[in-house]
Structure 1
């Protein structure tokens, strides 16, 4: 074995170690800033809401490719319920809200969800009254089949809106015969 090989391996290992340490430090700073922004956005939405929204759940749709017919036939796909939020637009035009919603779940039992929504909003047309959004929701949900124990949720959000009305949707991922549900509601702002 050449005496250069151990020295090379040692220097390579030390370079990797210091690089990963520096990267971990930067990632920690980025995550800390993101968490601070997240908390700041929730607090600003709570303290300085610009709007109040009414939610009307309209669709629960189980992914037909991920369920057998036996399950589909017994599930509810009419999410009767209502909800509301306080919301605001930030200086970038992004939408923030704190919400609570109650609706009939797949088993036709009451489900309650509450949390924080964030959507980046775009105006793809000359008519600025039409907009689309994409973002996430973070919160908790309580369901009968989980004995109403609070379960955390982090889900994607997408919407299309016109003036004070927004069609908002999410997808709950899962496995075969569980999860894989499309949920949508109409939001009316006043």
Structure 2
């Protein structure tokens, strides 16, 4: 199986994992999961906190010229499934590295480890399948599938996504925000 298909499978697995059990198609399972999330009555607020450019992959003059305080705001609808995993549909806007507003929106998923079986503390890992647009790309929307991780206490989360890079002075950015479940 080519690597790109394996990655797509791993990203979508939580959405269609129950399809076999319920004897429904994987596409129907994806639609069901998205519909359940969309129809949830639970909302959350996102407040961008930090954009860290990996010092090992950027020239100092580039880092010095970049904004690392991504002021902005976002909102989403979320739910926890039967296994305690988090699903969300969200939109957010923030100031990018060049101090220009960048919108992003999409679907996010995380599974959790609960230290000491705590009901309040959670450490999460997952992904987001999102779409964004940037001025330096002529505002053409493009996909942004990214890994997610978080440390959470009760309804407050410090959540981050890592934007990978393939060459010097691009990507390799850790984007962090606060997430408050209302």
Q: How far 1:86 moved relative to its partner?
A: 0.3
Gaps (5+ residues) in structure 2? 1-8, 20-24
Q: TM-score when scaled to structure 1?
A: 0.80
1:72 aligns with 2:46: no
Range that drifts further, 31-40 or 118-127: 31-40
Q: How far 1:35 moved relative to its partner?
A: 4.5
Counterpart for residue 7 of structure 1: none
Q: TM-score when scaled to structure 2?
A: 0.83
CA distance in structure 2 between the partners assigned to 1:35 and 1:121 by the alignment: 25
RMSD after superposition:
1.8
Structure of larger gyration radius: 1
Which one has the bigger helix percentage? 1
CA distance in structure 2 between the partners assigned to 1:156 and 1:39 by the alignment: 22
CA distance in structure 1 between the partners assigned to 2:149 and 2:44 by the alignment: 16
Q: For residues 34 and 120 of structure 1, do their structure 2 counterparts lie closer, same or farther at Cα, with a shift above 3 Å needed?
A: farther
1:120 aligns with 2:98: no
Counterpart for residue 140 of structure 2: 149
CA distance in structure 2 between the partners assigned to 1:132 and 1:126 by the alignment: 11
CA contact (8 A) 1:168 1:185 kept: yes
Counterpart for residue 181 of structure 2: 189
CA deviation vs aligned residue, 1:38-81 (integer Å, no higher than 9, x gap): 3321111012x141100000010000000011211111000000
CA distance in structure 2 between the partners assigned to 1:105 and 1:129 by the alignment: 32
Q: How far 1:132 moved relative to its partner?
A: 1.1
Gaps (5+ residues) in structure 1? 1-26
CA distance in structure 2 between the partners assigned to 1:153 and 1:42 by the alignment: 18
Structure 1 SS opposite 2:74:
strand
1:106-185 aligned at under 5 Å gives the runs: 106-174=97-165, 175-185=167-177
The size of the alignment, in residue pairs, is 161
CA contact (8 A) 1:50 1:89 kept: no
